[in-house]
Amino acid sequence: MATPVRRQHGLLPDLMDWAESFPSLFGFRSMLGVQGIRVEDFVEDGMYVVRAELPGIDPGKDVTITVDDRLLTISAERTEETTDKNHTEFRYGSFSRTVALPADAKEEDIKASYAKGILTVRVPVDETAKVHRKIQIETGDEG
């Protein structure tokens, strides 16, 4: 079985993850209009597992999970409104994260669950699938 390796998705997602760990400075994060989804992925008991932090989301209404060409995409839209005696505040935004599935993933058997603000997507992997093979190199001997 091929074991997925933690993938780096370029500098920008890592930079956004780092920026999300700090409180908003002078409204900078809100000006960006970008809210990220913290995602971790690992293999456990024959399953490729993707966990995403999505607190305050209604998973039945606000979350969409799609698979296309071995790419798993988690999309969510958040709307939040706070009203008190003097003013009303609202925040909203949509965001998504995409991860590549292992070559031996069984896409037809993907299951998702949501509990305590964590979305967990489990993808069975075919441990008997051969994903590695040696490729013979052809040479063109001209003589």
Q: What is the pLDDT of residues 96-115, one digit of tens each?
A: 889 999 988 999 999 999 99
Identify the band that residue 139 occupies on the pLDDT scale cut at 50, 70 and 90: confident
Strand, helix or coil for residue 5: coil
Segments forming the whole domain that contains residue 37:
11-124
Q: Which two tokens stand for residue 82?
A: 């706070």
Q: Is residue 137 part of a domain?
A: no
46 domain residue, yes or no? yes
List pLDDT tens digits, range 20-74. Answer: 445 444 444 433 334 566 889 998 898 999 999 988 888 999 999 999 999 999 9
| DSSP-assigned states of every residue in 118-143 | EEEEEEEB-TT-----PPPPP-----
Supply the pLDDT for residue 15: 57
Assess if residue 120 is contained within a domain.
yes
| Number of domains into which the chain is organized | 1
Mean pLDDT of 8-28: 49
pLDDT at residue 36, rounded to an integer: 61
Does the residue 135 lie in any domain? no
74 in any annotated domain: yes
Q: Tell me the CATH number at 55.
A: 2.60.40.790
Q: pLDDT tens digits for 64-94? A: 999 999 999 999 988 878 888 888 888 778 8
pLDDT recorded at residue 55: 85
User: Which one has a higher pLDDT value, 117 or 8?
Assistant: 117
Average pLDDT over residues 8-24: 51
Does residue 49 form part of some domain? yes
- Which sign does the torsion angle of CA 38, 63, 116, 124 carry? negative
The per-residue pLDDT for 1 is 47
Is 3 within the bounds of a domain? Answer: no
Domain assignment of residue 72, yes or no: yes
Q: Name the pTM for this structure.
A: 0.62
Q: Hey, which residues does 50 pair with through a beta bridge?
A: 41, 121
